[in-house]
Amino acid sequence: DAGVIQSPRHEVTEMGQEVTLRCKPISGHNSLFWYRQTMMRGLELLIYFNNNVPIDDSGMPEDRFSAKMPNASFSTLKIQPSEPRDSAVYFCASTWGQRNTIYFGEGSWLTVV
């Protein structure tokens, strides 16, 4: 299996622009997670889906952030409008069930200038 695939790997955008990050989980996994990592705050959960349904979105910073999972093989995280404080690495991860190993993608490195 190719693992969790994220795109783009790197994105530099101007403040106010819309950013869309994409994730393809491992085939057969039924849970998908979006995390954000910064030096100051470490890894923070933004949202997670189970069987394509959002279960916990309490970590989504504000209305500028939205996430969708239209099917079992694809998810997006959208920021509109983007701000410099959104600069971070955004990780997607997936797993099967509640108690198994979770697999991470390589991350999307976002810089908002």
Partner 1 sequence: KQEVTQIPAALSVPEGENLVLNCSFTDSAIYNLQWFRQDPGKGLTSLLLIQSSQREQTSGRLNASLDKSSGRSTLYIAASQPGDSATYLCAVNQAGTALIFGKGTTLSVSS
User: How far, CA to CA in Å, does 51 sit from each of 20, 34, 54, 82, 95?
Assistant: 22, 15, 8, 28, 11
| Minimum separation from the CB atom of position 100 to partner 1 (A) | 8
Among 12, 15, 102, 113, binds partner 1 (CB under 8 A): 102
Nearer to partner 1, 68 or 81 (CB): 68
Side-chain half-sphere CA neighbours of 109 within 13 A: 4
Asked whether position 98 contacts partner 1 by CB under 8 A, the answer is yes
φ/ψ of residue 17, rounded to 5: -80, 160
Asked whether position 56 contacts partner 1 by CB under 8 A, the answer is yes
Residue type, 95: T
Among residues 40, 52, 32, the alpha carbon closest in space to that of 105 is found at 32
Asked whether position 28 contacts partner 1 by CB under 8 A, the answer is no
Number of residues that bind partner 1 (CB under 8 A): 21
Among 29, 48, 60, 75, binds partner 1 (CB under 8 A): 48
Instruction: Give me the residues that bind partner 1 (CB under 8 A), please.
Output: 4, 31, 33, 35, 42-43, 45, 48, 56, 91, 93, 98-107
